[in-house]
Amino acid sequence: MSKPGRHFLHIPGPTNVPDRVLRAMDRALIDHRGPEFAQLTLRLLPRLQKLFKCSGPVVIYPASGTGAWEAALVNTLSPGDKVLMADIGHFASLWKDMADRLGLEAEFLPSDWRRAADPEAIRDRLAADTGHEIKAVCVVHNETSTGCAARLPEIRRAIDDVGHPALFMVDTISSLGSMDYRHDEWKVDVSVGGSQKGMMLPPGMSFNAISQKALDASKTARLPKCYWEWNDMLSANQNGFFPYTPATNLFYALDEALTIIEEQGLDNIIARHERHAEATRRAVHAWGLELVCADPREYSSSLTSIFVPEGYSANALRAQILENFDLSLGTGLARLADRVFRIGHLGDLNDLTLIGAISGVEMGLKIAGIPHNAGGTQAAMDFLAGAEQAEETAPQQAAMA
């Protein structure tokens, strides 16, 4: 049965796609080996470099982020190579599982899934690797299952402090376009991205941003590859083409999404995400609920993951909220299944959209009978409206009068 109004999509991806982007995609197909498409490709590639903040090439795949994970590994590594990863959540676990299946030796630094990758633990492990057997350090920047964000500059310093030559690979799938990310400055060798989150696109595109060090490693990498081969892509890209059929209409969507990002300004977009994340956390604190992320230094700006009290079902809560308010929230994954719900606040949304979602959660908590304090929505509104700043300045204004 149809419902009135517009669906509130607040999972941590796919995210809401702007109407402008949907309209840009709605056009007749063209020849993907013709001059018009080549011009589009050559217009897009340097703008993607600005988004990743990289000077090296960016490769576009017709795939989900999982494909870009695989491309990062198979283009740079050989069978039996050791890679260092951190067990910080469901998606980190999936990347590690992929490494195992590809014939790599993946070492998993333990975690309680309430923290991001630990720079000190990475430093200690690399310092002990005096023979430099570890060929890559693979880190999820923003773990979408937990809402914990890695302190990438500290991890880069940890690698440098011990002078380890390992490649540095980063999953930016739920952080690119919504959180501060600097491929070149942080000396990332392969950045993995996806279209359906901060980039405000439908699923179906993924990306590798590649350093010169990674390109050099690809010359001796011996893992099997064909579809994911960088060299085939880079050779064809020089003239605006691809070695196989690209996701042509998504290129028009990408063109428009990048235009929106450029109009709004990437720094402004990142600041908006930080602001919305803080408003959401203030609501959670006011409700008296517990965040999954235990370290404030690692709070995500893309999503907030929240425990329900012991003995209550997060899935039942999400079902009530969907049924009553047409609001989709993220589910708990793997070891967090039915224990947490996730509020996505990334991509194309504004203050009113966020408040609508937070109020839906608060009403849902009441309907589901989950113990909480009232006032979470008000706390978020006060923050977004600047009420706290107004209260601080009012005595000063009175004194001046």
Copy the structure tokens of residue 40. Answer: 């589009």
Copy the structure tokens of residue 65. Answer: 């982020």
CB 54 within 8 A of CB 60: no
Exposure of 274 by Cβ count < 10 A (0-12 exposed, 13-18 middle, 19+ buried)? middle
CB 170 within 8 A of CB 192: yes
Angle between helices 119-128 and 152-161 (to 10 degrees): 20
Q: Which of 211, 240, 281 is nearest to 57 (CA)?
A: 211
Local structure of residue 55 (DSSP, 8 states): S
Report how far residue 308's alpha carbon sits from residue 292's, in angstroms, rounded to the nearest whole number.
10
Give the three-state DSSP class for 185: coil
Angle between helices 266-287 and 351-367 (to 10 degrees): 20
- Which residues are known binding-site members for substrate? 342
Give the three-state DSSP class for 133: coil
- The CB density around residue 7, as the number of other CB atoms within 10 Å, is 12
How big is the CA angle at 44 (ends 42 and 49), to the nearest 5 degrees? 110
Q: What share of the chain is helix, strand, coil (3-state, %, to 5)?
A: 45, 15, 40
Q: Which helix (H) or strand (E) holds 321?
A: helix 314-325
- Which residues are known binding-site members? 342
